Amino acid sequence: MALTDTGRLGCGRDVDDVWAHIGDEPDEHEATCPDCQAARADLAGLASATTAMVDSDRDDARLVNQPSALAAIVAIARTEVRRGRTLPLTLPPRQPSDLPADRPPVSETGELTISEQAVASIIRQASDRVADVEARRCRVSVVDDEPRSTATEAGSPTRFSVELSLTVGRAVRIPGLATQLRRAITTAIDDRIGVGVASIDIHVEDLHDA
């Protein structure tokens, strides 16, 4: 079974592993992985800020560093890193073509979003229910190709495009499994989030019991 720990980044690596060697050079995976690169950038800022804070406060008798406070700060930062990009659940109506370019948008309603990591977790959970599948990297993006031409039209529902890499058992018939997996992912996203899926690209990287 593939792990579905919410501490994992979109590529499958645990954010705590990235934090553990944030002061070192990126390893071979991190050097080419956009998820790890983004996490390292965020965590590097945290490491720099906490180091500066400790250095400035070390000799201040009025301040007593509490381990629990630092742990709370790090926990919040890790949560933000895990969330990654946010994806809109609805797309705003497009401006009519005959309106002046400097006119304010028709709708100024608040945006409803979901983190890419939350969507990836739902996809991994759906993959776990398919026999002989171990999900690895997962990327989700928004597809915006629906016509939205009227000023009064409400925001159009988002549709997601999914890229999923995985390993499968050596006895699996891959075309049939891909069909089953696409159906499971589409159903899970519709049931849990209420949006459609435009495409699901599946990349089989290896046979995990060969």
Which amino acid is present at 14?
D
Rounded to the nearest 10 degrees, the angle between the axes of helix 67-83 and helix 116-128 is 70
Q: What are phi and psi of 80, to 5 degrees?
A: -65, -40
Mean pLDDT for the stretch of residues 190-194 = 91
* CATH of range 86-207; options 3.30.360.10, 1.10.40.50, 3.30.70.1350, 3.20.20.220: 3.30.70.1350
Beta strands 156-157; 159-168: pairing state:
unpaired
State percent of the chain over pLDDT 70. 67
Q: What are phi and psi of 136, to 5 degrees?
A: -120, -110
CA separation, residue 130 to residues 8, 123, 168 (Å)? 20, 11, 10
Q: What is the pLDDT of residue 73?
A: 64
Q: Say if CB 21 and CB 146 are below 8 A apart.
A: no
Q: What is the pLDDT of residue 37?
A: 86
Q: What is the pLDDT of residue 201?
A: 95
Residue 164: Cβ-neighbour burial (10 angstroms; 0-12, 13-18, 19+): buried
Mean pLDDT for the stretch of residues 162-175 = 90
Kindly list the strands in the beta sheet with 196-207, ordered across the sheet, starting from the edge strand earlier in the chain: 133-143, 159-168, 196-207
Which residue(s) pair with 156 in the sheet?
Answer: 91
The answer, yes or no, to whether residue 159 has pLDDT greater than 50, is: yes
Q: Is 59 helix (H, G, I), strand (E, B) or coil?
A: coil
The answer, yes or no, to whether residue 87 has pLDDT greater than 80, is: yes
The number of angstroms, rounded, from the C-alpha of 92 to the middle of its chain's C-alpha atoms is 22
Q: What is the pLDDT of residue 145?
A: 65
- Closest C-alpha among 171, 177, 175, 164 to residue 136: 164
Which pLDDT band, with edges at 50, 70 and 90, does 105 fall under? very low
The answer, yes or no, to whether residue 106 has pLDDT greater than 50, is: no
Helices vs strands, H then E, count in the chain: 5, 7
The answer, yes or no, to whether residue 190 has pLDDT greater than 50, is: yes
Q: Say if CB 164 and CB 127 are below 8 A apart.
A: yes
Mean pLDDT for the stretch of residues 47-59 = 71
Most confident of 45-49, 72-76, 126-130: 126-130
Q: What is the pLDDT of residue 152?
A: 40
Domain boundaries, the chain: 15-83, 86-207
* Distance between CA atoms of residues 91 and 113, nearest Å: 10
Which one is predicted more confidently, 181 or 7?
A: 181
Q: What is the pLDDT of residue 80?
A: 57
pTM given for the model: 0.56
